[in-house]
Structure 1
Amino acid sequence: MDDQLSLEQSLVQWELDLLQPEIRHSDAVARLLADDFIEFGSSGRVFTKADIIALLQAESPLKLAASQFETRMLAADVALLTYRVRRCSQPPVLSLRSSLWQKRGETWQMVFHQGTLIPG
């Protein structure tokens, strides 16, 4: 049970890390995302790992706040993490987020992510 709690805490921390400008502009993103990573963006576009890294490198810093994290283990080596994000802007932008994390070897990496805008 402690291992499960520790994994959940790690997954939440990695998601929070990915919201931080200094991480979004660093090599850490490449380590956290699997090579076959896919994202379904709130725009309806599909992004690869290379696409996301390029977009984040060019992005202006954003202030993002995450809350309401829930983790569901789908298998011993696959976890679904869902949460909400608030972009601190005028007007604020709210979205639902979901990520699939998979243990590959000894490392957990994000293999899928989706963001869905919450109508305002």
Structure 2
Amino acid sequence: MAVQRFEDLLVWQKSQDLAVNIYKTFRDTKDFSFRDQIRRAAISISNNIAEGFERNSNADFSRFLYIALSSNSEVRSMLYLSKKLGFTDKDDASELIDRTNEISKMLHGLIKSIKTNY
């Protein structure tokens, strides 16, 4: 059975959870530009999955999934930086990095499955 709603995609659910965790982790960060950038990037992941899903073609959906993948990579890069800057505990950052790696694998898998259908 084909997925009917983007809300049913596990990768969308996990990216929403990641965004919530990013918001909580960096809520007290005084570097407002860093905090805002990592939040925007985290939000962009699930939003691009949703927006692409609602497009009328697999090619468009795939394009938006690549954008989500790029945003996910941006979050991961900023998490490495957050460790170096002391904005996060190393264990917390490592857990979030692991989540971005999981989302990346899921996005790659979804892109591959879509490309075989167009």
Calculate the TM-score normalised by the size of structure 2.
0.29
Which has the higher relative contact order, 1 or 2, with Cα contacts under 8 A spaced 6 or more apart? 2
Query: Relative to total residues, which structure has the larger helix share, 1 or 2?
Result: 2
Query: Relative to total residues, which structure has the larger strand share, 1 or 2?
Result: 1
Q: Please say which structure displays the higher CA radius of gyration.
A: 2
